[in-house]
Structure 1
Amino acid sequence: MFIHLGENVVVPIREIVAILDGQLFYSSTIVQEFIDGQSKTKEIIEISTTMKTIIVTLNQIYFSPLASVTLKRRSTQLFETGQINLENEQ
């Protein structure tokens, strides 16, 4: 299954490592250092000029215009409807 991150960007749910509130990037030096360190090995994709959420995947980091609550709700709906079962996902 895939999750829509904004604009025309979708990623496989199984590749998502973390979903972080975008405000942490501005308020937490640890998050800034993490993103800076990860940018050396991962591509950073700015989906929009507005960044509300940081999505860390296996190979990229996305700055999404969608709120982290919206992304959580979308992923939760997929689990609740039984569309996703990570144990059996290949």
Structure 2
Amino acid sequence: MFLHLGQNTVVRTDAVVGIFDIETASVGKITRQFLSRAEEELRVTNVSQDLPKSFVVCLDEGGMRVYISQISTATLRRRTGFVEDLAKD
């Protein structure tokens, strides 16, 4: 299954490590350091033309990648199907 992050960018849902609200998560020092380091290592892809609302951390053959998205965390989680899977248990 695939997750659409915006601007014609999709990732495999099994590669998604986490979906984070950019406003609340970036308050923490460790998260800011993580995002800064990812940017320095050229591992950040901005797929947002508007104000970013979330970031998605993925792992694949090339390593870790962070996607900055204008789509809310709630919408991204719904698109993954993870919420529906949890409701079935």
How does the TM-score come out when normalised to structure 2? 0.75
* Stretches of structure 1 lacking an aligned partner (at least 5 in a row): 81-90
For residues 57 and 79 of structure 1, the distance between their equivalents in structure 2, rounded to whole angstroms, comes to 21
Counterpart contact for 1:55–1:61, Cα < 8 Å: yes
Instruction: Give % identity.
Output: 29
After superposition, where does 1:30-41 map in structure 2 within 5 Å? 30-41=30-41
The equivalent of 1:84 in structure 2 is none
Counterpart contact for 2:77–2:83, Cα < 8 Å: no
Deviations 1:15-57 (A, max 9, x none): 11111111122x2222101112333545211111321001011
Q: From 63, 66, 70, give the equivalent of 2:71.
A: 66
* Stretches of structure 2 lacking an aligned partner (at least 5 in a row): none
Q: Which amino acid aligns with 1:69?
A: A
Q: Which amino acid aligns with 2:74?
A: V
The equivalent of 2:22 in structure 1 is 22
For residues 82 and 20 of structure 2, the distance between their equivalents in structure 1, rounded to whole angstroms, comes to 19
Counterpart contact for 2:78–2:84, Cα < 8 Å: no
Q: Which amino acid aligns with 1:74?
A: R
Counterpart contact for 1:42–1:61, Cα < 8 Å: no
Counterpart contact for 2:2–2:80, Cα < 8 Å: no
How does the TM-score come out when normalised to structure 1? 0.74
